[in-house]
Amino acid sequence: MAKKETQKMIANNKKAFHDYFIDETYEAGIALHGTEVKSMRMGKCSIKEAFIRIENSEVFVYGMHVSPYEKGNIFNKDPLRVKKLLMHRYEINKLLGKIKEKGYTLVPLQVYFKEGKVKVEVGLARGKKLYDKRADIAKKDQRREAEKDFKVKNLY
């Protein structure tokens, strides 16, 4: 019998899709301490300003804010501490090769629970120029107008 995959979203990085072209995505585990997991179960996590670096063939996420757990007192860790991401060696080597190319970076796209474990979706991204962002906004406006017109026509 196949397992039913359950995913509960904790944090989403909408800004990443606005600022970058996402070419590939990877799923990574994250090394956390007990009170951080409890805080994430309550949805207290932010990845808006977060970024990812590879150092000594290990992947780390910087700027990911996990609010302290209220009942954790002395066991709470620093909310902005650097957290290690858990990925396979071949994935890390592939990412290292891509990052050395001009213009690529790693950004966290979302944090979620999958089968009781905290996972991070890592995106291999290229930066957008200002005109790219304007084109995306124009496309969204066009689509919104088309949906609005379609809705109005179907009411009559």
Q: What is this structure's pTM?
A: 0.74
**Mind listing the pLDDT tens digit for each residue in 84-106?**
999 999 998 888 888 887 778 88
Mean pLDDT of the chain: 82
Confirm whether 147 is domain-assigned.
Answer: no
What is the total count of domains within the chain?
Answer: 1
**Mind listing the pLDDT tens digit for each residue in 116-135?**
888 889 888 887 777 777 88
Confirm whether 29 is domain-assigned.
Answer: yes
Confirm whether 53 is domain-assigned.
Answer: yes
Confirm whether 40 is domain-assigned.
Answer: yes
Residues of the chain with pLDDT > 70, as a percent, come to: 91
Confirm whether 139 is domain-assigned.
Answer: no
Q: How far apart are CA 7 and CA 114, in angstroms?
A: 5
CATH number of the domain where residue 118 is located: 2.40.280.10
Query: Which has the closest alpha carbon to 122: 111, 133, 134, 137?
Result: 111
- Coil, strand or helix: which one is 64? coil
Confirm whether 152 is domain-assigned.
Answer: no
Average pLDDT over residues 27-50: 84
Query: How sure is the predictor about 1, in pLDDT bands with cuts at 50, 70 and 90?
Result: low
Domain around 83: 7-128
